[in-house]
Amino acid sequence: MSAAVITTTAPAKAQSHEGRIGIRANLRHIGALARRNMLQIKEDPESMFDAVLMPIIFTLLFVFVFGGAISGKGHQHDYVNYVVPGLMAMMGMNISMAVGSGVNQDFSTGVMDRFRTMPIARSSVLIAKIIVEIGRMLVATTILLVMGFILGLSISTSVFHLLAAVALSMVFGASLMWIFILLGLSMKSVQAVQGVAMLVLMPLQFGSSIFAPTTTMPGWLQNFTDVNPLSNLADSARGLMNGGPVAHSVLVTLAWSVGITLVTAPLAIRKFRTKT
């Protein structure tokens, strides 16, 4: 009887203490949970395959398949400078999708139920996942840039502008993770998360300026690309790396990042608390 009482009251007790957790304790919890997620990657190195191989495959594929057609035969170098900043935006979105799948899988194995019985802030579990995924995103972006430099990528501005482009990609990618976390908490299976995510990814990626200039697109599609956050992020990265006006695209990208986070983060945390 006593064991049953403990089992049923532990979650309520943990949840009642959540509001009294201090900032330092919250940071310790986030650090411990982030370490747990990193140890998972260490035990399962195959989980890094997408972050390591995807930038290599995509860079080679788009440069040598589309480079000649868009920039002209023998001018793939020009296309490298165009597409690599765009692929930085694409990397962030693809890596973000893995967060939703991971959260959904953790719930199916019962790990998340155990976390919810502990006297820790519910947000710390999700924030720890985002921190680790930002690390994976940074690995993917670094490999992407290395491949770009091998194929002839040149930076017309400075190292600081390049770092600013990378940082902007990380900020936007982190905001997208809240969307995919919410999706992972709402869908019943990993396959459902991945299916819905692809329906979101495809129009945003190909209906943007990531792979080609938008000037040849029909007017209605150009209107879509103008408000597409991936287009603004790609244009921001190009401006920071290749030179040119960036103020408008950077501000739009930051506005999207803040807006997405403010809307989806509270929804994801609430869903995490109430999911059964």
CA 137 – CA 169 distance, rounded (Å) = 9
For the stretch 212-262, pLDDT in tens is 888 888 888 888 988 899 999 999 999 999 988 899 999 999 999 999 999
Q: Rounded mean pLDDT of the chain?
A: 83
pLDDT at 96: 83
pLDDT at 71: 64
pLDDT at 20: 63
Identify the residue whose tokens are 């719930």: 107
More confident residue, 93 or 144: 144
* Whole-structure pTM value: 0.83
DSSP state, residue 233: H
Identify the residue whose tokens are 């930076």: 155
- Amino acid found at 113: D
CA 233 – CA 239 distance, rounded (Å) = 10
For the stretch 79-131, pLDDT in tens is 899 999 999 988 888 888 888 888 888 777 777 767 777 777 777 888 888 99
The residue length of the chain stands at 276
List the structure tokens of 126.
């999700």
CA quadruple 130, 135, 140, 144: dihedral sign: positive
pLDDT bucket at 11, cuts 50 / 70 / 90: very low
- Amino acid found at 71: S
pLDDT at 75: 63
More confident residue, 196 or 24: 196
pLDDT at 94: 83
Report the candidate in 157, 13, 179 with the shortest Cα–Cα distance to residue 81. 157
Q: Which of 34-43, 108-117, 146-155, 193-202 has the lowest mean pLDDT?
A: 108-117
Which parts of the chain fold into alpha helices (H)? 2-18, 23-43, 49-71, 76-109, 111-116, 122-150, 159-186, 190-206, 219-227, 229-242, 247-274
pLDDT at 254: 95
Cβ atoms of residues 36 and 185 within 8 Å = no
Per cent of the chain over pLDDT 90 is 33
Q: Which of 5-19, 23-37, 46-60, 124-138 has the lowest mean pLDDT?
A: 5-19
For the stretch 54-79, pLDDT in tens is 899 989 988 888 777 776 666 677 78
3-state secondary structure of 186: helix
**4 pLDDT higher than 50:** no
Per cent of the chain over pLDDT 70 is 89
pLDDT at 194: 84
What are the Cα distances from residue 228, in Å, to 156, 246, 256?
26, 16, 10
